[in-house]
Amino acid sequence: MQSVSTGSGKIRTVIGTRIAHYEITSHLGSGGMGDVYQATDSKLGRSVAVKFLPEAFARDVDRVARFEREARVLASLNHPNIAAIYGLESSNDKKFLVMELVPGETLAERIKRGPVPLDEALRAASQIAEALVAAHEGGIIHRDLKPANIKRTPDGKVKVLDFGLAKALVVEGGNTSHSPTMVTATSGIIMGTAAYMSPEQAKGRDASRASDIWSFGCVLYEMLTGRRAFDGDSTNEILASVLKSEPDWNRLPAETPNGFAACCAAAF
């Protein structure tokens, strides 16, 4: 057994345990949407990602029903650049998503090592854009596109994670119990991660396809510069930057083609 600290701050011993027919083998990460583990599906003999939903959410019948509806829509997507959802399961009063296990590092982990070379950034941006187009054509908006929600496999394929799932966690007049990326505002619900939010999201308004395009621009800028397009010492400072300023375009590499730079700027 191995103990891990979950996003809720509690210590749970889950590595080496079994839930339904899934053998939990390692901890992949934690966030506002739950704790994620690698597991082995004993029925199909494959490795999967298992995301346990926050307890406060899993006990809420309305939120679970909303999440199930969203998951069904997402399961209908079939695109090589979107991580697949295999199912929404329940066992021993625990709700969890079973998803495609995507190997490799997140784009956030890659950017920590510095700006992404232009040709590499172009390939990644093209695949992210294809994922967005496919989802938008299916009526699905991501709402929280950011480097941490994008993975690159060892062979260079880009996979966008958690498409549209953030929407299902928010109900009228409230937010998730422990998500650092979602906060309430008097005008509505601010949903997303501050540094990648569109102005309408920062104002608590509904997200749209244009919101995802804005976030895409933020991701593209960060790949090229190694710096966030909008930053600050607090969430309020970041949101103010989103609403009132523009990225520092002088940080873009000198060799950035005009068309590529224009694409980045057009997102804003």
- Residue 210 CA to residue 215 CA, distance in Å, equals 9
Strand ranges across the sheet with 18-19: 18-19, 22-31, 34-41, 46-52, 94-100, 85-91
Helix pair 258-266, 209-225: axis angle to 10 deg: 140
**144 flagged as catalytic:** yes
d(CA 122, CA 119): 5
Q: At what angle do helices 209-225 and 118-137 cross, to 10 degrees?
A: 170
Cα 224 from chain centroid?
A: 20
Check 41, 60, 144, 212 and give the catalytic one.
Answer: 144
In angstroms, the CA 257 to CA 254 distance is 8
Cα separation values, 5 from 15, 35, 137, 146, 254, Å? 12, 9, 38, 24, 43
Residues marked as catalytic: 144
